[in-house]
Amino acid sequence: MLLTVHTLVLSQALFILFLVSVGLVPIGLGLVTTPPLARAVRAHADRRRAWAQEWFGMTVPSGYRPLPVRAGGLAGQVQLTTHALRDPATWRDVQWLFADAVAGSILVMLTWTLPGYFLYGLVLLAGVWRPIVDAGGTYWYTFVPVDSWFTAFLAALVGTGLLAAAFWCNVPLLRGHFAMLRGMTGASEKQLLAQRVARLQETRHDALDSSAAELRRIERDLHDGAQARLVAMGMSLGAVEALIEKDPGQAKRLLAQARENSAEALTELRDLVRGIHPPVLAERGLGDAVRALALRMALPVDVEVDLPGRFDEPVESAAYFAVSEILTNAAKHSGAERAWVDMYYGREERTLRIAVTDNGRGGASLDGGTGLRGLERRLGAFDGVLALSSPEGGPTLVTIEIPCTPATGGGATR
């Protein structure tokens, strides 16, 4: 019955509303309504794809283009509308909506109409045929004219045959329904490959940009921090050399200051190295590195880890700094009192999954300026994905998935 509602009501309503919204784009109103309707159409189609996978193991690749980084105001609405209307997958979905509302609904209704006719035949046999016949004469049940107990019995017998037919053909009918979905909305291998190539080009540029930005950050931190302190320490030692015989007391004070500068420079260098690649990450692996990170956070963080061992260094580094940035955002912006990090490895899917949850005020978004969009792009270099759920009032859940395989020789981390 739920599938019938989806085909008869939702598909038809979304088809009509989307076309009306597109027609209103020239006057500006469609710029506001088209992006949310496009998302609703995608969610509707994705729900049906999920059912196809759950019920029949039928994979239906969507092939949607990734959403662009949104600008603000009217320019952002124009950007989202243009993106939705230029995506071929959007129009595949729209064509499928029409077919689903017509042919798809017929296939689905047949699956419960046949059992329904069986029950109706039993109702007629129970004596309901008499008032029907008295009121309007002979009543036709499919091809059986019901006007007596014998013909009512024949109607019930035909209904039993229809029930048997339902057991035989309902599964093929539903399979045909989802085959239509796959045929009309499923992306071809060529389309998926083209999107894959475009995605790799984008993530390569993002990776290069991130590397260049990281190098600039390291140069800036060295210049403003450790380098300045080392220069000051050298000047202090030069002054000590000149004053050690004339003013030993002043020379001692300068030596103490130089010692302080050397200690501070060493601390800054250690922090810089930790920011590039934390020693605990290199020595103990991702699980222990995240536990150590949790101990340094301003809010309490519970960490659950179920990993089969070590991963390649780039994967561990990307995952670690992703968790670090998410927890830092939670501590600074969410007003959370506590956070939770769950890390595990899906062996069947060969995917590292990380879920970071906080009990803050919520309302975060990928376009909110908290760095999550940049984090999403950096994870894209590993084919990783980032999903955000942050309703107003909280909680906020950030999920990260990175396809990878454990490195050889690593033990389980728990």
Supply the pLDDT for residue 412.
47
Supply the pLDDT for residue 18.
94
If you average pLDDT over every residue of the chain, what do you get? Answer: 80
Q: Which tokens go with 345?
A: 């490895």
Interval 152-166 mean pLDDT: 83
Dihedrals phi, psi of 389, to nearest 5 degrees: -130, 115
Q: Of residues 127 and 277, which shows the higher confidence score? A: 127
Supply the pLDDT for residue 192.
62
pLDDT > 70? residue 11 = yes
Supply the pLDDT for residue 411.
47
C-alpha to C-alpha distances, 94 to 17, 27, 37, 97, nearest whole angstrom: 11, 22, 11, 5
Supply the pLDDT for residue 237.
74
pLDDT > 80? residue 13 = yes
281, 284, 290, 292 alpha-carbon torsion, rounded to 10°: -100
Peptide linkage before 395 cis (omega within 30 of 0)? yes
Q: Of residues 67 and 134, which shows the higher confidence score? A: 134
- The sign one gets for the Cα dihedral 127, 131, 134, 138 is negative
Q: Of residues 92 and 273, which shows the higher confidence score? A: 92
CA 59 from centroid of its chain's CA atoms = 18
Angle formed at CA 119 by CA 116 and CA 122, multiple of 5 degrees = 150
C-alpha to C-alpha distances, 259 to 234, 256, 283, nearest whole angstrom: 11, 5, 30
Q: Which residue has the tokens 């089969």?
A: 308
β-bridge pairing 339-346 and 301-306? parallel
HEC assignment per residue over the chain = CHHHHHHHHHHHHHHHHHHHHHHCHHHCHHHHHHHHHHHHHHHHHHHHHHHHHHHHCCCCCCCCCCCCCCCCHHHHHHHHHHHHHHCHHHHHHHHHHHHHHHHHHHHHHHHHHHHHHHHHHHHHHHHHHHHHHHHHCCEEECCEEECCHHHHHHHHHHHHHHHHHHHHHHHHHHHHHHHHHHHHHCCCHHHHHHHHHHHHHHHHHHHHHHHHHHHHHHHHHHHHHHHHHHHHHHHHHHHHHHHCCCCHHHHHHHHHHHHHHHHHHHHHHHHHHHHHCCHHHHHHCHHHHHHHHHHHCCCCEEEEEEECCCCCHHHHHHHHHHHHHHHHHHHHHHCCCCEEEEEEEECCCCEEEEEEEECCCCCCCCCCCCCHHHHHHHHHCCCCEEEEECCCCCCEEEEEEEECCCCCCCCCEC
Supply the pLDDT for residue 222.
63
Give residue-wise pLDDT tens across range 217-272. 666 666 666 666 666 677 777 777 777 777 777 777 777 777 777 776 676 666 65
Q: Of residues 177 and 412, which shows the higher confidence score? A: 177
Query: Any bridge partners for residue 144, and if so which?
Result: 141
pLDDT band at 139, cuts 50/70/90?
Answer: confident
Sheet holding 339-346, edge to edge: 301-306, 339-346, 351-358, 396-403, 385-389
Share of the chain above pLDDT 70, in %: 80
CA 106 from centroid of its chain's CA atoms = 33
CA 13 from centroid of its chain's CA atoms = 26
Supply the pLDDT for residue 285.
86
Supply the pLDDT for residue 271.
60
- Nearest Cα residue to 121 out of 165, 161, 151, 152: 152
**Taking the CA atoms of the chain, what radius of gyration do you get in angstroms?**
33
Which residues have C-beta within 8 Å of that of residue 198, sequence separation ≥ 6?
A: none
pTM: 0.52
Interval 275-297 mean pLDDT: 80
